[in-house]
Structure 1
Amino acid sequence: MVLRPLSPPDAPRVKAYRRRAREGTLAPVLLWFVSPLDGRLILDGHDRAVAALAEGSDPECVILERLVDADVRRRQLRTLTDEHERSAAALARRPGTERQRRRLAQGIGTAPGGPALRSGPHRRPAPSRRSGHLGRPGRPGDV
């Protein structure tokens, strides 16, 4: 992913970088790994990346990545596990939820107050005849 539009391969700055790419003296591109996007952002070196690709080679890259200490990661996982166990215990205390718990354990039920959980393909709702919007009921006055 890029933070700005890429320059065309024939731009003057890119031409200068292409010469360096051919000579093998092109500086690396600085990338940042963003885990929520599951991808890398080009922070610096947009034109160098274009130049290397235009010369038919992959650009050299330096990747910035957040490293989490093993103890910190263990604490995060423990917190998530504890929260899940509290939620499961709260559900177990609610009357009339045994059937829902069994269905959730099988992966085919619905969570109390939540959407259906299914392992198969998802279907889109049919268009409403009154409103023309997918899955939305018609409103008074809609034609």
Structure 2
Amino acid sequence: MLTINSIKNGIVIDHIKAGYGMKIYKYLDLDKADYSVALIMNAESKKLKKKDIIKIENNIELDLAVLGFIDPNITIDIIKDETIYKKIKLKLPDRVENIIACKNPRCVTSVEKNIPHIFKLVDENTGEYRCEYCDQIYENLSL
């Protein structure tokens, strides 16, 4: 079994759906980090069978709405002095702005520039979002 040491101060992004760790790693630009980062893929999990984990030896700004949109089952552990200081459980955000783009060619966001792409959560169980302007449906396939 692989062993990754604990971190003194930083962030652990845990319970990432297996295979989504790299997506989050790239979104956070962790490949450009000048501090220690560990990406663990396909780790054993009692709940999920397999999961990804990201350990970051630094406190960085995280957009919880985007992370919740990518995978609503994620937990964020804030680590101070090698212990969990704070635990944040994510969920699907009620509203997302400029995270996804409307695919409807007749939508005002397709025609006009500088209009934000805004989607509202319609069904939490299916991850269905609707465009605020034209009601185009977007299904979050990460669920």
TM-score normalised by the chain length of structure 1: 0.18
- Larger Cα-atom Rg: 1
Structure holding more strand per residue:
2
Which of the pair has the greater relative contact order for Cα pairs under 8 Å at 6+ separation?
Answer: 2
Structure holding more helix per residue:
1
TM-score normalised by the chain length of structure 2: 0.18
